[in-house]
Structure 1
Amino acid sequence: MALKRIEPGKRMSSAVIHGNKVYLAGFTPDKALGKSVAEQTKDVLTQIDATLKEAGTDKTKIIKANIWLTNISTFAEMNSVWDAWVVPGQTPARATVEAKLAAPGIDVEIMVEAALD
C-alpha cells in the first residue's frame, strides 16, 4: 500500500495518507501566533480544514484529535472555538493536555487523524 505525502518537508510532512486514513502533523498557529488561545485555535482549525480538503476528506471524518495547550486554564477558551467548529454528532475521540510547546507564543497545537471515506 503506497503512501501519499502532503507538503513533504525536510523534517516532516503536513499529512500522510495511508490506506483509508490521513494522519495530520501537529498544527500550530500561523497567522495568530502570539494572539489569544481562541484566535490561535481558529487559525489551527482553518489549517486543518484546508489540509483535510487537500487529502480528500473533511472534519466530519475525523476519528481522533490530540490537543496540547501551554496552559490548561485556557481549556474553556479553546473549547469555545472547538465546539463551534465541530459538527454535532460527528465529534471525534479527543484528548487535551497541558504541555510546553515548540516556541514562545505558540499556545495551542492540534493533531488529527481522519478517514478518507
Structure 2
Amino acid sequence: MAIRRLAEEERLSGAVVANGLVWLAGQVADDASLDVEGQTADILRQIDALLAEAGTDKSRLLTVTVVLADIRDAPAMNRAWDRWLNPAAKPARMTIQGALVDPRWRVEITGVAALP
C-alpha cells in the first residue's frame, strides 16, 4: 500500500493519503487574530487545498470533527461551515469543546475523505 504525506511540517503531515482515503491533521487558522467565523473560513480554505492536492474534494468528506475552544462559539463556526458545505454531500460531523495548543486558536478541524 502506497502512502503519501502532504504538507509535511516538523511534527506532522497536513494530510496522509493511503488505501483510498485522506486523513486530515487538525487544521487551525493561519491568522489567529480572526474571530471564530473567520478562523473557520480560513481552516475550510486550507481543507479545500489539502483535499485538492490529494485528488479529492469536500463532497467526498466522510467524517469531520470540529474542536471549539468555547462551545458557545458554535453558531459563529456554523455560519462559516454552512456557507462552505455542499448540502448534497454532508459528512458525519462531531463538534466538541477542548483546549487548543495556542490560546489564540478558537477552532480546529480534522476529518477523513474518500478518493474518487
Same fold (TM over 0.5): yes
Aligned length: 116
Alignment TM-score, normalising by the size of structure 1: 0.96
Q: Say if 1:26 and 1:111, in contact at 8 Å, map to a contact too.
A: yes
1:18: which partner in 2?
18
The equivalent of 2:7 in structure 1 is: 7
> Which residue of structure 1 aligns with residue 71 of structure 2?
72
Q: How does 1:19-38 map to 2 (within 5 A)?
A: 19-31=19-31, 33-38=32-37
DSSP-derived class of the 1:25 partner: strand
Paired residue type of 1:34: S
Q: Give the match for residue 93 of structure 1.
A: 92
Give the C-alpha shift of residue 84 in structure 1.
1.1
Query: 1:43-76, CA deviations, whole angstroms, 9 ceiling, x for partnerless residues?
Result: 0000000000000000000000000000000101
Q: Indicate the percent of aligned positions where both proteins have the same amino acid.
A: 41
* TM-score, normalised relative to structure 2: 0.97
Distance of 1:52 and 1:88 partners within structure 2:
18
Distance 2:30 2:9 in 1: 17
CA distance in 1, matches of 2:8, 2:83: 30
CA contact 1:4–1:18 (8 Å) conserved in 2: yes
In the TM superposition, what is the alpha-carbon distance from 1:82 to its structure 2 partner?
Answer: 0.4
CA drift at 1:34: 2.5
Letter in 2 for 1:69: L
Q: Offset of 1:19 from its aligned partner?
A: 1.1
Listed as ranges, the gaps of 5+ residues in structure 1 are none
- Give the deviation of 1:16 after TM superposition: 0.4
**1:28, distance to aligned residue in structure 2 (A):** 0.2
